[in-house]
């Protein structure tokens, strides 16, 4: 039966009323979903903030438990002159070599001063490594005056590529070097050992960490008669910035470079 007159009108009204109710309900539902989303986002943000605070608090607490010191340069008493004669990281250094960051396979010790910076910029570091900063360490903070800041932690090695957890995920290079070079964060975000390697130190002695890894740039063959810069020359700027080397030891190194001994 076909609807006519009031009956038809009333049907239309009912439909209108129904669609109004439906529209209202849809708007209401949308608002509820949006509100839920906002609450969820806020909750996630709040959780992240709480987590970041907790990690910062842990670092500060650890530093209080472990007595850190205001050591800004590592004291050296004696230098091994082999760093003035051994081939250095010439040309473009590690970046210009076949080496796939082999020494990063050991992980490294990170000075307390560097740990503080990594913690401060944790979001940037985590975006590059794909891991939580806390998971990149395998040892707790240990007091040791052989490190800048008077304490250090050892990094963990990733299972997937057997490289230090601070290495860039999936490409050559270190996330901390990246943040210093590409994002102009303070250079101190790079651990001391990684800035000076293959020159290293132990309890007042500065020396080359021999034997070097197989593909290390400092081991690369050069054509006969071609002289390349020594480890002391290629790492000089960093050695000066990070170590307190007595003048007479420094002079010994410079003289050895001049005389080629
Ligand atoms: S901190 Fe960077 S340079 Fe140092 S071992 Fe780890 S990945 Fe390599
Ligand atoms: S092994 Fe040598 S060339 Fe390779 S990353 Fe280490 S220092 Fe650089």
CB hemisphere CA count around 21 (13 angstroms): 6
On the 0-12 / 13-18 / 19+ scale of CB atoms within 10 A, 42 is exposed
Whole-angstrom Cα distance, residue 153 to residue 115? 8
Separation of 123 CA from ligand 2 center, angstroms? 27
Residue 253: which domain range?
66-259
Lowest mean pLDDT among 8-12, 45-49, 214-218: 8-12
**Residue 8 located in a structural domain:** no
Rounded to whole angstroms, the Cα distance separating 218 from 99 reads 10
Which is more confident, 127 or 70? 127
Q: How many domains does the chain have?
A: 2
Rounded to the nearest 10 degrees, the angle between the axes of helix 112-120 and helix 122-129 is: 90
Where does the pLDDT of residue 19 fall: very low under 50, low under 70, confident under 90, or very high at 90 and above?
very low
CA of 97 to the centre of ligand 2 (A): 8
DSSP assignment of 202-249 equals: ETTEEEE-PSPPTT-GGG----TT----BHHHHHHHHHHHHEE--HHH
Q: How far is the CA of 242 from the centre of ligand 1 (A)?
A: 17
104 C-alpha vs ligand 1 centroid, how far in Å?
Answer: 5
Whether pTM exceeds 0.85? no
Q: Give the distance (Å) from ligand 2 centre to CA of residue 197.
A: 8
In the reported structure, the alpha carbon of residue 128 is separated from the centroid of ligand 2 by a whole-number distance in angstroms of 20
Burial 204-236 (b: 16+ CB within 10 A, else e): eebbbbeebbeebbbbbeeeeeeeeebbbbbbb
Mean per-residue pLDDT, 241-258? 96
Q: Which of 113, 175, 176, 187 to mutate to test the pocket of ligand 1 (most atoms within 8 A of CB)?
A: 176
DSSP-derived pairing of the beta strands 74-75 and 243-244: parallel
Q: Is the CB of 168 under 6 A from ligand 1?
A: no
pLDDT given at position 92: 85
Q: How confident is the model at residue 224 (pLDDT cuts 50, 70, 90)?
A: confident
- The answer to whether 189 and 176 are in contact (CB under 8 A) is yes
121 pLDDT above the threshold of 60: yes
Cα–ligand 1 centroid distance for 126 (angstroms): 14
Query: What confidence tens digit (pLDDT) does each residue in 159-183 have?
Result: 999 999 999 998 999 999 999 999 9
Domain presence at residue 122: yes
Q: Which atom of ligand 1 is nearest to the CA of 190?
A: 1
Give, for ligand 2, the residue of 217, 219, 221 to mutate: max count of ligand atoms closer than 8 Å to Cβ: 217
Among the ranges given (91-95, 151-155, 166-170, 187-191), the one the predictor scored with the smallest mean pLDDT: 91-95
Helix (H) or strand (E) holding 11: helix 5-65
Is there a single domain that holds both residue 58 and residue 180? Answer: no
The model's pLDDT over 31-65, given as tens digits with 9 standing for 90+, comes to 666 666 655 656 666 666 666 566 666 666 677 67
Tell me the CB-side half-sphere exposure of residue 167, using CA atoms within 13 A.
Answer: 24
Report the nearest-CA residue for atom 6 of ligand 2: 103
| Same domain? 205 vs 254 | yes
Q: Which ligand 2 atom is the nearest neighbour of the CA of 99?
A: 4
Query: Is 112 a pocket residue for ligand 1 (Cβ < 6 Å)?
Result: no
Asked if the structure places residue 5 within a domain, the reply is no
- Asked whether residue 177 is assigned to any structural domain, the reply reads yes
At residue 77, the pLDDT reads 98
Do residue 39 and residue 98 come from a single domain?
Answer: no
Q: Which of 8, 43, 65 is the last residue of a domain?
A: 65
DSSP 47-96: HHHHHHHHHHHHHHHHHHHTT-----SEE-SEE-THHHHSB-S-TTGGGG
Q: Are residues 78 and 47 in the same domain?
A: no
Return the residue whose CA atom lies nearest to atom 1 of ligand 2: 216
- pLDDT at site 13: 39
Task: Give 5's pLDDT tier (boundaries 50, 70, 90).
Answer: very low
């Amino acid at each position: 039966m076909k609807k006519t007159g009031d009956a038809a009108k009333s049907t239309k009204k009912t439909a209108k009323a129904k669609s109004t109710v439906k529209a209202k309900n849809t708007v209401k539902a949308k608002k509820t979903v949006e509100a839920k989303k906002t609450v969820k986002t806020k909750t996630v943000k709040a959780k992240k903030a709480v987590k970041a605070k907790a990690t910062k608090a842990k670092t500060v607490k650890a530093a209080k438990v472990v007595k850190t010191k205001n050591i800004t340069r590592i004291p050296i008493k004696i230098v091994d002159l082999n760093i003035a004669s051994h081939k250095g990281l010439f040309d473009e250094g590690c970046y210009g070599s076949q080496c796939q960051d082999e020494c990063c396979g050991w992980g490294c010790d990170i000075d307390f001063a560097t740990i503080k910076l990594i913690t401060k910029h944790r979001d940037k570091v985590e975006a590059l490594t794909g891991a939580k900063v806390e998971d990149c360490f395998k040892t707790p903070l240990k007091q040791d005056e052989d490190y800048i800041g008077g304490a250090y932690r050892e990094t963990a090695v990733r299972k997937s590529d057997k490289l230090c957890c601070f290495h860039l995920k999936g490409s050559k290079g270190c996330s901390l070097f990246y943040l210093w070079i590409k994002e102009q964060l303070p250079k101190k975000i790079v651990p001391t050992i990684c800035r000076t390697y293959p020159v290293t130190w132990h309890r007042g002695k500065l020396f080359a960490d021999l034997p070097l890894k197989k593909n290390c740039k400092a081991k690369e063959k050069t054509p006969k008669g071609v002289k390349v810069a020594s480890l002391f020359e290629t790492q000089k700027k960093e050695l000066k910035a990070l170590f307190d080397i007595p003048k007479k030891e420094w002079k010994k190194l410079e003289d050895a470079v001049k005389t080629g001994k």
